[in-house]
Amino acid sequence: MSVQPAVRAEGEKPATREMFYAEALGDALRLEMRRDPNVLVFGEDIAQHGGAFGVTKGLLDEFGPKRIRNTPISEIGIVGAAVGAALTGLRPVVELMYVDFAGLAMDQVVNQAAQNRFMFGGQARVPMVLRTQGGSGRGNAAQHSKSLEAWFAHVAGLKLVMPATPADAKGLLASAIRDDNPVIFLEHKLLYRTKGDVPVGEHLLPLGTADVKRQGRDLTIVTWSREVVFALEAADNLAAEGIEAEVLDLRTLVPLDKETILASIRKTHRALVVHEAIKRAGYGAEIVSLIVEEAFDRAAKELAS
């Protein structure tokens, strides 16, 4: 399912207001639930408590306990219920407190959610979103600080989203909810209290489209999620030395916007890939492989000429 942003008159800019990242996610959920009665949300402590990070705060009052459902502490049950609901025509959004706990539900994610559409020749749809958060930086210890995007990116049938800004979080979550495929939506725990201008009302961003957060000509920094913040800071520091770094935010890892990555590399001829996960078998290696296979030879020839 391809989702395109709302059409506006030429030159017209959407009205915006400043929001926290967590608020922007909640705004997307609220608007999608109003638009489509088949959208429901469930997870641990998401009702009265509003979720571990406050994303679902206030939704229970508007939509009631049938559409905002607290669940037992059972990740396999939460995700299994979502798969079943999606297969029968609903559009569930489930929240797992930490991506570290996703291992408890990997059978449902890998062998059910990701595979059913293939197994039934496209006749079955699994339009579900699994929201969870990862990353380090809060001293949350070993079971609450992992970056596991490479796990999910390896599985055929899953889409994978990792937004860095409040506006991107809102637009991509709305599009993920409308998508007919299972989407893993990973949020960094230290982004929830970051602020930014967010379009008011319906805001959709297509999955699979990277965003150049800063233009440059000397170096391309390819990154995603919270590392975008650090990349932009680094680019500011480099600018003081006369080096223009381009910061490319992937936003979605699956599908991957290869064309934008390669176009940037061919312009700057240099690349730096930045991610938070463990280096070994991390998703950054996928980006490096792409660059070497499809951009390296051309860039080398242009530099030599």
Residues annotated catalytic, as ranges: 75, 144
How many Å separate Cα 241 from the centre of its chain? 33
How many angstroms separate the CA atoms of 91 and 164, rounded? 24
Cβ–Cβ < 8 Å for 196, 165? yes
How many angstroms separate the CA atoms of 43 and 68, rounded? 9
Cβ–Cβ < 8 Å for 253, 224? yes
How many angstroms separate the CA atoms of 176 and 269, rounded? 33
**Which residues contact residue 64 at a Cβ distance below 8 angstroms, ignoring those fewer than 6 apart?**
none
Cis bond before residue 163 (omega within 30° of 0): no
**Which residues contact residue 229 at a Cβ distance below 8 angstroms, ignoring those fewer than 6 apart?**
164, 191, 194
